[in-house]
Structure 1
């Protein structure tokens, strides 16, 4: 009888179904093609390799930078936390999957009880004993309507979503390290520029001071030269501070204190990240880690609806034990002590407001996940479009600023000559020098913007990792 009952229950389990709604990927609420217009007209979408087809160490070829990124991938605490979240989600999935299988336990019990005479059926005081050892299944839910399998599917999708979240964190870390590296190089270049400017201004100030002492120039011109010295001094202090903070950022991202040998010497000696493209179609965004994570979350809440639906149907469970029992501990394993029990149970909800509320909550949660999925796609499309707008215009900006720096350098040189020959006032020199210094810093910032935008584009497309 026990064997037949188990076979019947297993057969019912195999023939059972789930009530998870059929999943269909929602249409992406963005155009199929990238934006068009003047800002994007210079981009060749087919010339450069796709970001999803190039590994990070092929995209970033700077040797020192690669070493720092490898350290970060091994040591960064935020990435470790993300990896542990994946392990936790995998463990929860394992727990939920195990709910489908019966738990077999060994159970040993024993008791002795004395009944006083006035409570005994025989009118005499009695002492009774019972000992048993059993092997069996306790409260195994037979998943006839797919409740447990729906929850298992939900746990699986949550685990897959966490995996994609970890992948996104890894990609963000690579981008953050590279951006911090190029920022350090830019600030070091600006510090060199500020120190060189300070040196030149100090030398010029000493020269003008001698001319003032012999009465060739006025006191106001001497003070104007001094303002340039002080401006350069402030810039040196500011970029010294920025460089120290950039180093702290790199140390934090790398998860350890980096040696000077790994730090860049300056912006001019760096190798640019490789040029990349998102391809012609925006469908590439569907492989972006955060979008895939949002879709797995949507599938998880879709599976939760199946579990909520199954709660309206009977919940069938089985407890079965097989072993020995005896009134004496020594007789547990003697002939004739065999004992068994089968206890099926079915619970059918008749009125339980919580079941209806849970079903409604599951449907709302799926709608929330759907809106979040669509919003994530729209945000991704905007991020890629912004990066493409920079990519399509930054080279023209660089050419313009490089030409401006050249013109201002000549203007400054000629203004000094005119002033020293008494043709023009020192205000012309002051304006030319100030404009040149600002333009040189702007040129360095634009170079950083170009590099950082390539890093951003690689990240927001989804990268090839």
Structure 2
């Protein structure tokens, strides 16, 4: 009997694998040569995706600002919640591979009035019951459940790649705004220095005009240069304010003043150089490319895709549902608990 059962299980497994309609995914070949001339340094170069952002940005202030953005950015939180949602959906879909097991407990109470009782006292009769067992199980001979499970898995992995892509984009955006702020601060400092110089020069020319050494035209030209320098100070002050507001918006919180950049020279020198000869294979490891490939895999594993493939083979129904159910009257296998009777007045 045991050998017959093992043989039945093996036969069912072989039939399930033979009847599966899940198409095999094959990554398309890239329409470019595998290597290019003078590409020898590529083998010795460190892959760009292996360089962490903490290693690329050496400035400690910029590192702290990026870490602050990763902890507070709203869009990144939404991406992380989407990953949790996709993971939960995958777990729900994966549960269909196993039988559905349920448990039910109940209590029934009946009260018998004293005037109807033989003892003349009111009685309460209580009955407890509990059942446990499986209600239904679909035999996945044609791979419908497995294809849905594979589709949910690919969608979950694609959502994770989307989160990684959002994180990389956030790091790049924070660094870009931070460096732009350093550049505008340096221009503002130069504009203020120019304004101070123009102010001193204008005061000197004005005194010279009062002494008759220069003409009124020189005073007028000096005043124009002074007003132009003052306008530059106001313009660059607006740029700095816009950069600070944009940085606070991307970070998702107020950035402390001691974490803002001082000069552009120090900020640029704090960025590491990428190695030359990075192989083009790194493009296939980009999160956005991997997300697109996961979406393609999910579409390939979709039952609709299998149904279209089956229709090409002129078949009637690619996914007949074969569900196993307990016999009538035994939808829940188990034993009822012993009846318990208790009297109460």
Which TM-score applies when normalising by structure 2?
0.76
8 Å contact kept, 2:307–2:318: no
Task: State whether structure 2 residue 299 is matched by structure 1 residue 301.
Answer: yes
8 Å contact kept, 1:64–1:263: yes
Distance 1:192 1:91 in 2: 53
Distance 2:308 2:323 in 1: 18
1:98-126 CA distance string (max 9 Å, x none): 01111111246899xxxxxxxxxxxxxxx
8 Å contact kept, 1:49–1:277: yes
2:205 matched residue in structure 1: 208
Which structure 2 residues correspond to residues 32-431 of structure 1 after superposition, within 5 A? 49-107=46-104, 134-270=131-267, 271-277=269-275, 279-304=277-302, 305-306=305-306, 312-320=318-326, 321=331, 322-323=333-334
Distance 1:213 1:31 in 2: 78
Change (3 A) 1:308 1:315: farther
8 Å contact kept, 1:50–1:276: no
- Aligned CA RMSD, in angstroms, stands at 3.4
- CA positional deviation for 1:227: 1.7
Which TM-score applies when normalising by structure 1?
0.58
2:12 matched residue in structure 1: 12
1:278-311 CA distance string (max 9 Å, x none): 6353222001111011111111101012376686
1:102-156 CA distance string (max 9 Å, x none): 1111246899xxxxxxxxxxxxxxxxxxx98643322321111100100100010
2:313 matched residue in structure 1: none
1:216-255 CA distance string (max 9 Å, x none): 3333332222221111111111111111221122222222
Distance 1:254 1:247 in 2: 10
Counterpart of 1:25 (choices 22, 27, 31) is 27
Q: Which runs of 5+ in 2 are unaligned?
A: 109-127, 311-316, 341-345
1:374-415 CA distance string (max 9 Å, x none): xxxxxxxxxxxxxxxxxxxxxxxxxxxxxxxxxxxxxxxxxx
The alignment covers a number of residue pairs equal to 300
Q: Which runs of 5+ in 1 are unaligned?
A: 37-43, 112-130, 332-465
